[in-house]
Structure 1
Amino acid sequence: MPYSRLDLRKLALMRCRNTLALRLKSPREPMGLTQEIVGDEQKSTVLTQTASDLFTKMKDRFLSFKKDKYLANIEHFKELAIAQEPKFMVIACADSRVCPSVVLGFQPGEAFVIRNIANLVPSYEVENILVVGHSCCGGIRALMSMEDEMNSSSFLHNWVVIGKNARSNTKAIASKLSFDEQCRHCEKESLHHSLLNLLTYPWIKNKVVEGQLLIHGGYYDFVDCTFEKWTLGYTKSSSMVHNQYCIKNREFWS
């Protein structure tokens, strides 16, 4: 059916309106995306700048170490490049507030340092093993917060479950204390169990029995800045294995 001039004008006007609507609409749709991209770029710039500042500080600390420690003791570091003979292995928590080298003043070559969640244990050939726990430990708090039948697929559960005996003992002994006090008790209880766990390694147990290796516990309270240290002593007897060990040489540094 042929269109009249009026019909053609109406069709043309409708097309113009549709085209204008599309033109007006199209820039609005990607606007949010554009803002998102700009926002992400700004965040990325801030993050990059923050990282840059952090590494600038790290570089300054490294150069300070090189000048004041490395170059000032170059002969010592040359000897370390050939061999090391540390007298300690220190096992401490990965918590950023607890740094054994800073707190106890260990210098390069003096100690193997192993850091993990809640200072749980393996070992090396040394004369002393020091396992260091600390106050306000997040790993121990997580251990004390766990349900008895927690999902075993949890990474944190699979790690801190090593301390389940310390948790059980704490629940039995300190059940009337507040949760914070229970956690503090468990922090020390888990240290004791970690020392005993070391003795499940036959070569470690043999060296302790023969007097060739000493095992120590340490507890750093960074709230009060105090340090407690003790040694797991061995006494030859015919009694059960767990009765052959005792705490001795306890010291409190404040």
Structure 2
Amino acid sequence: MAQSILGSSAVYKPEFPRSSAATSTISGSKLKFWEIEQTQLGFLSSCKINLPLRLKASREGLGLVQESKETKPNLISKSNDSFSEMRNRFLSFKKDKYLENLECYQELAQAQAPKFLVISCADSRVCPSYILGFQPGEAFVVRNVANLVPPFENGPCETNAALEFSVNDLQVENILVTGHSCCGGIRALMSMDDDDKNSSFIKNWVKVGKAAKSTTKANASNLSFDQQCKHCEKESINNSLLNLLTYPWLESRVAEGLLSLHGGYYDFVDCTYEKWTLDYQKNSQRQESVGYAIKNREFWS
């Protein structure tokens, strides 16, 4: 499969249209618009797995954990007593959430039926369950540096092991690759020389996103380095969505309409979130050289 890149970048104005009247497509630097379709992330869609426990766990999962009443995050202090604070948090969780919803947690102990696989960055500032409100049992989460998905031909790693389990065994209905602002992994990628032979674990990992870096350099060379990094943060998400389609068993479920692929971008500087969906049906009707279509683009602020 050609490694075309979906549209996402900061060099286009508007960067992500806030109107629900457009979708976009990019191959290299070419941008086109398609009619948008209704967003279908599947938060409230019914579980298709015919297991009573999993059905019940999925049905009741949304109410497992009550919304926190705190107005300011209670961060662990930088002291030698950090685990004391962690202990207090755990005991509060057990008393106020686990024991208050004991039946639900016991059912989840028997089986899980998440509707989402979330691939997120390991950055401590972007916990997807905290930001997007996932409750226990709703999302299977894998986190790595720069939220990258390597292509199938790269061989085994923990990220595609999570892909295999969540898609083939848990039969998730949605995969959400979610990136974020000020990503150190993407900055490392953009700072690397193309012929860098450094054996650093980080550099060997982030080079998975080299196609996104190449597109960024081609389309955003007139921007500052910081702006290029932001461009690449979004371009890399789309490169990962395309890499997902290189897994045969995953692409077959997308083709059958059993699985949807989504991109998301969290800007923690101004607390906004952008979401879009890969339009597989339109892509399958077009030449690969033209690029890939996306739909259901939204801006949450």
Query: Would the TM-score normalized by the shorter structure come out above 0.5?
Result: yes
Query: RMSD in angstroms over aligned alpha carbons?
Result: 1.5
Residue 75 (structure 1) aligns with: 103
TM-score by length of 2: 0.66
Runs of 5+ consecutive residues of structure 2 not aligned to the other structure: 1-77, 150-159
Residue 189 (structure 1) aligns with: 235
Residues 54-88 of structure 1, C-alpha deviation per residue, up to 9 Å, x if partnerless?
A: 00111111111111211111111010011000000
1:95 is displaced (CA, Å) by: 0.3
Residue 298 (structure 2) aligns with: 251
Residue 247 (structure 2) aligns with: 201
Letter in 2 for 1:57: E
Residue 177 (structure 1) aligns with: 223
Runs of 5+ consecutive residues of structure 1 not aligned to the other structure: 1-48
Residues 77-104 of structure 1, C-alpha deviation per residue, up to 9 Å, x if partnerless?
A: 0100110000000000000000001000
1:238 is displaced (CA, Å) by: 4.9
Letter in 2 for 1:239: R
Residue 163 (structure 1) aligns with: 209
TM-score by length of 1: 0.78
Residue 120 (structure 1) aligns with: 148
In structure 2, which of residues 129, 140, 165 is the aligned counterpart of residue 101 of structure 1?
129
Answering whether residue 168 of structure 2 is matched by residue 130 of structure 1, we say no
Letter in 1 for 2:132: L
In structure 2, which of residues 59, 65, 83 is the aligned counterpart of residue 55 of structure 1?
83
Map residues 220-239 of structure 1 onto 2, 5 A cutoff. 220-235=266-281, 237-239=284-286
Residue 26 (structure 2) aligns with: none
| Distance of 2:209 and 2:253 partners within structure 1 | 24
Question: In 2, are the aligned partners of 1:140 and 1:160 still within 8 Å (CA)?
Answer: yes
| Distance of 1:182 and 1:90 partners within structure 2 | 25
Number of corresponding residues: 205
The structure with more helix, counted as a fraction of residues: 1
Letter in 1 for 2:279: G
Question: In 2, are the aligned partners of 1:234 and 1:244 still within 8 Å (CA)?
Answer: no
Identity value in percent: 69
Answering whether residue 257 of structure 2 is matched by residue 211 of structure 1, we say yes
Answering whether residue 287 of structure 2 is matched by residue 240 of structure 1, we say yes
| Distance of 2:201 and 2:83 partners within structure 1 | 30
Residue 191 (structure 2) aligns with: 145
Residues 66 and 243 from structure 1, CA distance in 2 versus in 1: closer, same or farther, beyond 3 angstroms? Answer: farther
1:50 is displaced (CA, Å) by: 2.8
| Distance of 1:244 and 1:141 partners within structure 2 | 26
Residue 22 (structure 1) aligns with: none
Question: In 2, are the aligned partners of 1:235 and 1:245 still within 8 Å (CA)?
Answer: no
| Distance of 1:244 and 1:169 partners within structure 2 | 13
Map residues 32-47 of structure 1 onto 2, 5 A cutoff. none
1:152 is displaced (CA, Å) by: 4.0
| Distance of 1:209 and 1:219 partners within structure 2 | 25
| Distance of 1:239 and 1:249 partners within structure 2 | 19
Residues 159-189 of structure 1, C-alpha deviation per residue, up to 9 Å, x if partnerless?
A: 0000000000000000000000000000000
Letter in 1 for 2:79: T
Letter in 2 for 1:191: I
Question: In 2, are the aligned partners of 1:70 and 1:77 still within 8 Å (CA)?
Answer: yes
| Distance of 2:97 and 2:259 partners within structure 1 | 31
1:146 is displaced (CA, Å) by: 0.5
Letter in 2 for 1:61: R
1:242 is displaced (CA, Å) by: 6.1
| Distance of 1:239 and 1:58 partners within structure 2 | 53
Highest CA radius of gyration, 1 or 2? Answer: 1
